[in-house]
Amino acid sequence: MAENLAPSEVVLGLVRVINGESPRLSAKDYLDPSVNIHMDSARHCGIELWYKWIYLIRNCGRLCNLYMTPCELSCDRENPNIVHLSIRWSGIERSRWTPVVAPEIYHLRYLVENCRIIEVWTTKSNYIFIFGLWIRYSILYRLLFLWAIFYFAILSLRGKDYHEDNDEGRPAKSRTQKEGLKSSSWQRFTRSKWTFLLFHLLCLLYCVVGRVDFIGSFTVWFVMQMGVHSGYHRYFSHSSFRTYPWFEFILGCSGCLAFQNGPLWWASKHRRHHQFADTGNDLHSPTKGFWHSHVGWLWSKQADDIDCKLIPDLLRPIPIWIENYQVWIHIIYVSTVYLLGGWNGLLAWWITPVVVCWHTTFATNSFCHTIGSHPYKCRPYGFCMARNNFLVAIANLGEGWHSNHHANPSRCHHGFYRWYQLDIVYVVLLLLEKLGIVWGLKRQERTRRKLASKS
């Protein structure tokens, strides 16, 4: 308990609680239940509001693993119960996942009585480093306030508690790593034989008697392919480039619409494939039969679980959210498609693109491990049969240069090792790089090789 402490010690105790350095104590040990919080000219009352504000700056700001470093602590000369605290924020920037430190020092004041903080004075400028410059503007700050009301209402309906002094992401992440993830009934439904058969029958029916919308189907297929190949494969599985959280969310949702489960499931299976390519531990090894490597492996019991040990870097909010809420992503998309195009729209803009995307994606596992050239030795040596297949590369936008990929898995381009190896996914990534949406593309360093050979 925070009894018989000097005002400055009470304030430092609250800072330690915020930083997660006092597991036995909580904010209730230092804050008065009816604490007044002054934000610029506004005044708010109650410890519940304090908990909500701390939850917001930890979980909804541009930083994670937020940390307050006290820089200067002093008591007011006229009133020793008023404590002046200067701090510097630090944390991990969510968009780039790099440690950052606030360039300036921020100032707060606390009024302490009976070893409890009863008044807190702060300003919106103290949180610019956490949220961004937009928080300065009144209308945007009010929108944040309205959004927060809706956000906490949803948390209440879901039964989630925001009264935690530590970051919500930390215990959730450790639980995920420890316990692992299991495929839900919806995830198993997307991979069931009956779903596979139903979608193919509906696709055949659409091609025979439906109003074929080739442009619409091709456009949706292209978006799904980019979601799977640039998102699930090159971004989530191999970290071949970096991007903003909002675009990471778009990539994850686009891949999810292709009915190939969530990014965690997809990445864990693919990393296992690279680890044990074409051996007995490879789920879709062609040594078990061509059909098995194409789609049969999806119905094995080993395909149900997600090995979190293979994807520790992906156990972060956005991939986990997409993995857990796939059904809602599909419901929103299917409902929108039905409202816009009716039954023919569902067949043209959902069923048909999903079926085509299945086979153009799975062809990499089957055709590209049995037919084509094998210019590079790939790990595990003596087992991996990854091959370059020109026709598959055209059909799936560049993924068919599979021997290139297995030789250098982290590179963001699978083609262009030769002039004729077209890689559409890589071309799109180059365009996005020019627009500043993605960066840090890992590619072949040809210039250095040429210079080294000349020297």
For the chain, 455 residues long, give each residue's pLDDT as a single digit of tens: 456 788 888 888 888 888 877 666 788 888 988 999 998 888 888 888 888 888 888 888 888 778 888 888 998 888 889 999 999 888 888 766 677 888 889 999 999 988 889 999 999 888 888 888 888 888 888 888 888 888 888 777 766 777 755 443 343 333 334 344 555 666 777 777 888 899 999 999 998 887 889 999 999 999 999 999 999 999 999 999 999 989 999 999 999 999 998 999 999 999 999 988 888 888 888 888 899 899 988 888 788 778 888 888 888 888 888 988 888 899 999 999 999 988 999 999 999 999 999 999 999 999 999 999 988 888 888 788 899 999 999 999 999 999 999 999 989 999 988 889 999 999 999 999 999 999 989 887 653 444 344 44
Q: What class, spelled out in words, does domain 7-167 have in CATH?
A: alpha beta
* Runs of H (alpha helix) within 276-396: 290-294, 317-324, 326-346, 352-366, 390-395
Provide the greatest CA pair distance for the chain: 87
Give the Cα separation of 397 and 414 in Å (integer): 10
Question: Which residue from 437, 419, 366 is spatially nearest to 395, judged by alpha carbons?
Answer: 366
191 Cα distance to chain centroid: 22
Query: Beta strands 82-93 and 63-75: pairing type?
Result: antiparallel
Could you say which DSSP state residue 83 is in?
Answer: E
74 forms beta bridges with 84
**The token pair that represents 422 in the structure block:** 């077209």
Give the Cα separation of 306 and 181 in Å (integer): 5
Q: Side chain identity at 60, as an amino acid letter?
A: C
Give the Cα separation of 423 and 116 in Å (integer): 63
- The dihedral built from the CA positions of residue 163, 165, 169 and 171, taken in this order, carries a sign that is negative
Give the Cα separation of 184 and 435 in Å (integer): 37
Which residue matches tokens 């330690």? Answer: 16
Which residue matches tokens 């499931």? Answer: 265
Domain with CATH 3.10.450.50 in the chain: 7-167
3 state SS of 112: strand
Total-model pTM: 0.61
Give the Cα separation of 442 and 242 in Å (integer): 10
**The token pair that represents 292 in the structure block:** 């098995």
Count of CB atoms within 10 A of residue 301's CB? 6
**The token pair that represents 380 in the structure block:** 């595990």
Question: Which residue from 49, 39, 60, 165 is spatially nearest to 108, judged by alpha carbons?
Answer: 39
Give the Cα separation of 30 and 14 in Å (integer): 6
Please answer whether residues 52 and 68 qualify as being in contact, where contact means their C-beta atoms are separated by less than 8 angstroms.
no
Give the Cα separation of 372 and 208 in Å (integer): 33
3 state SS of 195: helix
Could you say which DSSP state residue 409 is in?
Answer: T
